[in-house]
Amino acid sequence: MLSTLANRTVAALFAAVLLCSCDKDEDEKVSRAQLLTNGQWRLTAAVANPPLVAGPFTITDLYNSQMMQSCLKDNLYKFNNDNTVTTDEGAEKCDPAVPQTSNAPYSLSANEQELTFLGTTLTITELTNSTLKVKGPITAQGFSVNAELTFSK
């Protein structure tokens, strides 16, 4: 009798722990729009895919090549809830005549898979609290190339 009561008590405690430990995934799920608008993003990698062939050179790592101006590497991008993106030119500006900050429109597709900003539509391949990865066509130093871009916070 005592062991049956003990088994029932253990089973009840186990069930209570299981019920209490379940999290509400639906309530806690964060949308891509929320992740995108939470903080400032800086470009940290740019990879040509397929590689860019320019004369005798084949370039894959755009970020660490002469294709990527250093003044672009310290820019910060803040996606705002009003569908504008604020660009901060950072300490090194490409053009001293350009304002330190500027706003431009952006849009996120209804299924939150595509991001359009600065005139380009990119496919979102990863979006977390700290990483935004997109791929699509870009122009670098006059060359059109398909690229995979990584932004970090």
Domain membership flag for residue 45:
yes
Inform me whether the pLDDT recorded for 25 exceeds 80: no
* Residue-range definition of the domain harbouring residue 71: 29-152
Domain membership flag for residue 96:
yes
* Residue 13: predicted pLDDT: 36
CB distance 10 to 18 below 8 Å: no
Per-residue pLDDT, averaged over 109-136, amounts to 96
Inform me whether the pLDDT recorded for 17 exceeds 50: no
- Mean pLDDT rounded to a whole number for the chain: 85
Inform me whether the pLDDT recorded for 46 exceeds 90: yes
Inform me whether the pLDDT recorded for 15 exceeds 50: no
| Helix or strand (DSSP H, E) at 152 | strand 143-152
Inform me whether the pLDDT recorded for 2 exceeds 90: no
Report how far residue 120's alpha carbon sits from residue 46's, in angstroms, rounded to the nearest whole number: 15
Which residue, among 151, 29, 149, 36, has the nearest Cα to 84 in the 3D structure? 36
Domain membership flag for residue 38:
yes
Report how far residue 142's alpha carbon sits from residue 58's, in angstroms, rounded to the nearest whole number: 16
Report how far residue 52's alpha carbon sits from residue 146's, in angstroms, rounded to the nearest whole number: 9
Domain membership flag for residue 5:
no
* Residue 49: predicted pLDDT: 95
CATH number, domain containing residue 98: 2.40.128.270
Domain count, the chain: 1
Domain membership flag for residue 102:
yes
Residue 27, helix vs strand vs coil: helix
In the chain, the amino acid numbered 101 is T
Maximum Cα interatomic distance, the chain, rounded to a whole number of Å: 87
* Size of the chain in residues: 153
Domain membership flag for residue 7:
no
Quote the tokens at residue 44: 């940290």
Domain membership flag for residue 94:
yes
pLDDT digits (tens, 9 = 90+) for 57-68: 999 999 999 889
pLDDT digits (tens, 9 = 90+) for 75-103: 999 999 999 999 999 999 999 999 999 99
Domain membership flag for residue 35:
yes
Inform me whether the pLDDT recorded for 24 exceeds 80: no
In the chain, the amino acid numbered 107 is S
